[in-house]
């Protein structure tokens, strides 16, 4: 049986393309990008570009991973028909660690008998040995053809295939017959003394020319060293019995394959007993002899007896080129790690969903983790049961949120479906899909928050999901806790390499100002609504969350008495509640706005938390509104789109006289009171009608200031009928909306146009930043009255009862209503303000980075607008500058650390001729000279200098410089 030397080739013609997982990964990146554009998710942009950077980096690493000096395919030592043959592929890796797969096709008699593949992770400067199990159904020559070396990155996103042009061949010996009869005997006479000796192992008989198949133990190495010719030593032994293996002795069997099978069994029997044998075939005769070479020659002859049998065509479809070598069941450790990564990615959204959703997710993931592995202790959930759970979850979410298209409901139903998918995961494709879907769901967490904690969680969850995907590319390599740690480190390294490119795209990628489409979105609540009812604002006073921040960097900060943040204006009154006159205000003429000379101009950036309402909160009076915003006839700033996420607006305000010229129809509207309502309050106000309007306002103010009223968060419940009377003459305890509503009623009843204005009052100044923090508990309501010659004048009746509410803060006003200074901050409050400074900077430059911020940045950099020539040039230059260090880092990990070895590596790069596994410098120089004959002298000199540096006595540094100089001067 002939065993040729291993075939060693230099791969060429790299073909790089994404795998199915890589194509799906790219689709995920594009899908999340579209979602981030539509919903203006700034951190979503960051995660999307980070994943895009990973996609690019893995492509570069895949190309580096296939820089292989050689692929050596060794045939098996034994090849018998009916038994799989184990070819050995030796791959020496020079590039970074990567998943390497060797694939090929087995062919016999021109027919393909099967596809083979083997995979493993190759480490730099190591030889990876892969066993290729090749089916050999029949005897005869077998060729391993169409061999390819395939590199897949650690995440399985890219594949680079290098064809191996040559093939490995082997002669497959026939299968010996079971229970074959005894072979016929033969008297063996040799050439020894008196003809009584024959070939054996007793005494030396002489030497002969080397024949293929002779054992290396019988080669006379002394003759080889002296003459350079291979000679084989012969021994003899006393003549004895042998076996006569004659083709004619098997004539009774008839079938060729049966006859060959019997002769093969007789050869095996002779080898087992150590007997000499003679073999006679129709076209071949092997004289009597014995030994390993003799047996191999006999088997090779039997393997080629004509006619050769026809192998069966390979049945079924072969697996895809890059499909993993899968065991019968998914590895339990890898599946549980994927489930853990999914559970971790759900954490931020759990507070947004009903408790039963959390219980459902926990139960299903726990069940799937318990079922992982080949031994399942619980019955599997049928598809019908999973579908029923999905339907019930959809019904429950629709009942909880009123829709399935909102943020909370939509993300919850996605999480439920993904969890149910995890419970039915049975294949590697499904397991990889879990990571992709987990990354998609991770982006939806930014609907709920884009804070630094969410960003940190997202980075950790991304690393876990990428590591989980890596474990499915080659589960055997990443098995166990150590493998999990290595997979996490590799995922983290990829993310670090992708971070610069992600930062560049985050800063320069165009940010549109409007969404691509609109869907029903559930919004967070600011505390202000479209109407005012008793208790509306007192309930909000217990909410300490931030409503907005106002940054006055570079300008004055208004004093506390002017920190009235105007919101909705309530002009309609039905005796029970105050509402906005939205439709009527469109028909009113715009009021006048006259700036007051000598008053400062306030320029500030308003960072508004999401509230889902169209109004902005601005100081009075706004002289410059932001883009996509307008000032209504009620002197309220509204946007064209409700704030569905944290948004930054630039405004300018200045003290002004409002509405000295006002539409008479609006004034009439602000005089209306329902007939028959609150008769005592109406009678009180009617007594002031004879006074000038300004004195009527003063009378009402004096009544409240001296009437024994109390400021409280817990006022008694007022009746629906004659509510103002009950408050003014009975309870006398209330919050800002009670006093504003009562004062406006008194003024209208007294013949003075009045309305209620909602918004916020105050704001805590952060000493570490030039900005104010306005919280939900600062929600406030006050009154505006219209006086001829003055226009709309603000009157805050709450300040009459609790001046500390205006001068200090809510907490001080509730305990010390007449205080003029706020209580000193505690250590925890000071620490909270420092943390809020970081939060504000994060909101401004990361979470709130939008089209306006981008235009400001581009303007400062002097690159023009998005799409301009300077912009495109800067973007390409930045990408090149960022990618070059990445490729340099990847390449640096390829070069050996030893200086001499690194120089020889540079030579292989320059010649585009990698070294073979275990190849010496001298052997490499000799082989390279065959490709480049003109460089033979220089290559020989390089090899000599390399050997002196590596194996000679300590050489001075000049020797290394000379070697490097020779390599640099080399030209192909």
Count Cβ neighbours within 10 Å for each residue of 155-174 and write b for 16 or more, e otherwise. Answer: bbbbbbbbebeebbbbbbbb
**By the 8 A CB rule, do 152 and 98 touch?**
yes
State how far the Cα of 903 lies from the Cα of 910, in Å rounded to an integer: 11
- Give the tokens for residue 283: 């076209």
Question: Which parts of 123-173 are beta strand (E)?
Answer: 126-134, 140-152, 158-163, 168-172
CA distances from 426 to 368, 373, 439, 480 (A): 11, 10, 20, 20
CB atoms within 10 A of CB 786: 23
Q: Is the dihedral of CA 825, 831, 832, 838 positive or negative?
A: positive
Active-site annotation holds for 780: yes
> Can you state the percent helix, strand and coil of the chain, rounding each to 5?
45, 20, 35
Closest by alpha carbon to 761, among 558, 510, 955?
Answer: 558
Give Cα 475 distance to the centre of its chain.
Answer: 19
Answer yes or no: are the C-beta atoms of 846 and 648 closer than 8 Å.
no
From 551, 738, 780, 836, the catalytic residue: 780
Return the SS3 of 71: strand
Residue 143 appears among annotated catalytic residues: no
Task: Reply yes or no: is the peptide bond before residue 307 cis, omega within 30 of 0.
Answer: yes
Q: Where are the alpha helices (DSSP H) in 566-613?
A: 582-585
CA atoms of 778 and 759, how far apart (whole Å):
8
Pairing mode of beta strands 71-74, 168-172: unpaired
Residue 36 annotated in active site:
no
d(CA 382, CA 329): 18
- DSSP structure class, residue 615: B
- The CA distances from residue 455 to 440, 450, 451, 458, 504, in Å, are 15, 7, 6, 5, 18
CA distance 241 to 245: 13
- Whole-angstrom distance, CA of residue 336 vs CA of residue 333: 5
Q: Can you give 189-218 as a three-state secondary structure string?
A: CCCCHHHCEEEEEEEEEEEEECCCCCCHHH
Measure the CA–CA gap between 102 and 145, rounded to whole angstroms: 12
Instruction: Please state, as a whole number, how many other Cβ atoms lie within 10 Å of the Cβ of residue 259.
Output: 22
Contact 389, 420 (CB under 8 A): yes
Q: Cβ distance 191 to 238 under 8 Å?
A: no
**What does each C-alpha distance from 814 to 677, 710, 822 come to in angstroms?**
31, 9, 12
| Helix 20-39 × helix 428-444 angle, to 10° | 10
Residues in CB range of 112: below 8 A, 6 or more apart? 105, 106, 313, 314
Contact between 275 and 215 (Cβ < 8 Å): no
- Residue 188 contacts residue 239 (beta carbons within 8 Å): yes
Check 736, 738, 778, 836 and give the catalytic one.
736
Quote the crossing angle between the two packed helices 899-911 and 957-969, to the nearest 10°: 10
Of these residues, 214, 236, 778, 796, which one is catalytic?
A: 796
User: Is-contact 172 80, C-beta < 8 A?
Assistant: yes
Contact 942, 963 (CB under 8 A): yes
CA atoms of 771 and 621, how far apart (whole Å)? 19
User: Distance from CA of residue 136 to its chain's centroid?
Assistant: 44
Across 589-599, b (16+ Cβ under 10 Å) vs e yields eebebeeeeee
Q: Which residues are catalytic?
A: 736, 780, 796
């Amino acid at each position: 049986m002939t065993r040729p030397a291993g075939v060693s080739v230099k791969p060429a013609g790299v073909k790089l393309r994404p795998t199915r997982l890589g194509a799906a990964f790219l689709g995920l990146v594009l899908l999340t990008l579209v979602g981030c554009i539509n919903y203006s998710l700034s951190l979503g942009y960051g995660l999307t570009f980070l994943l895009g950077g990973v996609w690019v980096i893995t492509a570069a690493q895949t190309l580096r991973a296939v820089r292989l000096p050689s692929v050596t395919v060794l045939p098996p030592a034994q090849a018998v028909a009916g038994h799989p043959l184990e070819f050995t592929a030796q791959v020496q890796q020079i590039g970074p660690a990567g998943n390497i797969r060797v694939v090929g096709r087995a062919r016999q008699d021109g027919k393909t008998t099967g596809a083979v593949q083997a995979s493993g992770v190759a480490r730099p400067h190591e030889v990876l040995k892969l066993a290729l199990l090749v089916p050999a159904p029949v005897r005869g020559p077998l060729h391993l053809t169409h061999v390819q070396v395939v590199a897949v990155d650690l995440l399985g996103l890219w594949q680079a295939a290098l064809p191996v042009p040559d093939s490995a061949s082997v002669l497959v010996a026939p299968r010996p017959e079971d229970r074959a009869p005894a072979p016929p005997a033969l008297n063996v006479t040799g050439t020894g003394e008196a003809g009584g000796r024959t070939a054996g192992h007793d005494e030396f008989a002489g030497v002969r020319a080397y024949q293929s198949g002779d054992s290396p133990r019988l080669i006379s190495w002394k003759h080889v060293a002296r003459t350079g010719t291979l000679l084989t030593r012969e021994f003899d032994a006393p003549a004895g019995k042998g076996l006569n293996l004659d083709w004619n002795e098997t004539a009774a069997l008839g079938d060729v394959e049966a006859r060959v099978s019997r002769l093969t069994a007789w050869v095996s029997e002779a080898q087992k007993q150590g007997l000499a044998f003679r073999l006679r075939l129709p076209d071949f005769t092997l004289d009597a002899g014995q030994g390993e070479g003799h047996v191999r020659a006999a088997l090779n002859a039997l393997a080629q007896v004509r006619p050769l049998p026809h192998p069966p065509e390979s049945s079924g479809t072969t697996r895809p080129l890059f499909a993993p070598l899968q065991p019968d069941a998914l590895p339990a450790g890898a599946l549980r790690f994927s489930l853990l990564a999914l559970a971790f990615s759900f954490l931020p959204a759990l507070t947004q969903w009903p408790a039963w959703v959390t219980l459902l997710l926990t139960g299903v993931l726990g069940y799937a983790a318990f079922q992982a592995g080949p031994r399942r202790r619980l019955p599997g959930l049928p598809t019908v049961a999973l579908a029923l759970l999905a339907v019930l979850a959809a019904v429950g979410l629709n009942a909880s949120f009123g829709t399935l298209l909102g943020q909370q409901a939509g993300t919850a139903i996605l999480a439920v479906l993904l969890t149910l998918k995890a419970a039915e995961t049975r294949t590697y494709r499904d397991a990889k899909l879990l990571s992709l879907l987990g990354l998609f769901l991770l982006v939806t967490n930014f609907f709920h928050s884009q804070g630094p904690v969410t960003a940190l969680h997202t980075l950790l969850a991304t690393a876990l999901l990428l590591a989980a995907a890596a474990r499915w590319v080659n589960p055997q390599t990443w098995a166990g806790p150590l493998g999990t740690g290595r997979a996490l480190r590799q995922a983290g390294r990829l993310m670090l390499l992708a971070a610069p490119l992600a930062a560049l795209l985050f800063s320069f990628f165009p940010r549109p100002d409007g969404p691509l489409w609109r869907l029903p979105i559930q919004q967070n609540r600011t505390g202000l609504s479209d109407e005012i009812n008793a208790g509306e604002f007192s309930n909000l006073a217990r909410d300490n969350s931030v409503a907005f921040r106002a940054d006055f960097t570079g300008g004055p900060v208004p004093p506390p008495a002017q920190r009235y943040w105007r919101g909705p204006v309530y002009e309609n009154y039905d005796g029970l509640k105050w509402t906005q006159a939205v439709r009527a205000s469109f028909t009113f003429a715009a009021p006048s706005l006259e700036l007051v000379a000598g008053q400062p101009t306030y320029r500030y950036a308003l960072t508004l938390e999401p509230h889902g309402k169209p109004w902005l909160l601005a100081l009075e009076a706004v002289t410059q509104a932001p883009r996509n915003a307008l000032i209504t006839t009620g002197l309220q700033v509204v946007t064209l789109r409700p704030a569905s996420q944290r948004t930054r607006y630039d405004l300018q305000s200045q003290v002004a006289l409002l509405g000295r010229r006002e539409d008479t129809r609006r004034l009439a509207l602000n005089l209306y009171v329902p007939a028959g309502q609150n008769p005592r309050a109406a009678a009180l106000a009617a007594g002031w009608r004879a006074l000038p309007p300004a004195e009527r306002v003063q009378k009402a103010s004096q009544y409240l200031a001296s009437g024994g009223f109390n400021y409280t968060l817990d006022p008694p419940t007022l009746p629906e009928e004659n509510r103002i009377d009950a408050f003014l003459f009975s309870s006398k305890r209330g919050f800002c909306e009670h006093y504003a509503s009562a004062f406006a009623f008194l003024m209208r009843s007294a013949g003075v146009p009045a309305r209620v204005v909602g918004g916020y009052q105050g704001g805590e100044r952060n000493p570490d930043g030039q900005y104010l923090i306005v919280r939900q508990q600062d929600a406030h309501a006050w009154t505006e009255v219209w006086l001829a010659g003055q226009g709309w004048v603000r009157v805050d009746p709450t300040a009459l009862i609790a001046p500390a509410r205006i001068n200090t803060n809510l907490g001080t006003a509730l305990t010390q209503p007449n205080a003029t200074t706020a209580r000193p901050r505690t250590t925890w409050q000071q620490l909270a303000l420092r943390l809020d400074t970081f939060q504000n900077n994060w909101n401004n430059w990361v979470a709130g980075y939008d089209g306006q911020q981008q235009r400001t940045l581009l303007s400062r950099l002097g690159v023009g607008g998005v799409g301009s020539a300077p912009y495109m040039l800067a973007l390409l230059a930045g990408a090149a500058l960022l990618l070059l260090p990445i490729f340099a880092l990847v390449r640096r990990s390829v070069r050996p650390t030893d200086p001499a070895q690194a120089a020889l590596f540079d030579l292989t790069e320059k010649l585009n001729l990698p070294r073979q596994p275990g190849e010496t410098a001298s052997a490499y120089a000799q082989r390279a000279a065959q490709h480049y004959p003109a460089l033979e002298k220089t290559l020989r000199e390089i090899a000599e200098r390399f050997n002196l540096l590596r194996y000679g006595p300590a050489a001075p540094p000049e020797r290394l410089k000379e070697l490097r100089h020779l390599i640099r001067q080399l030209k192909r």
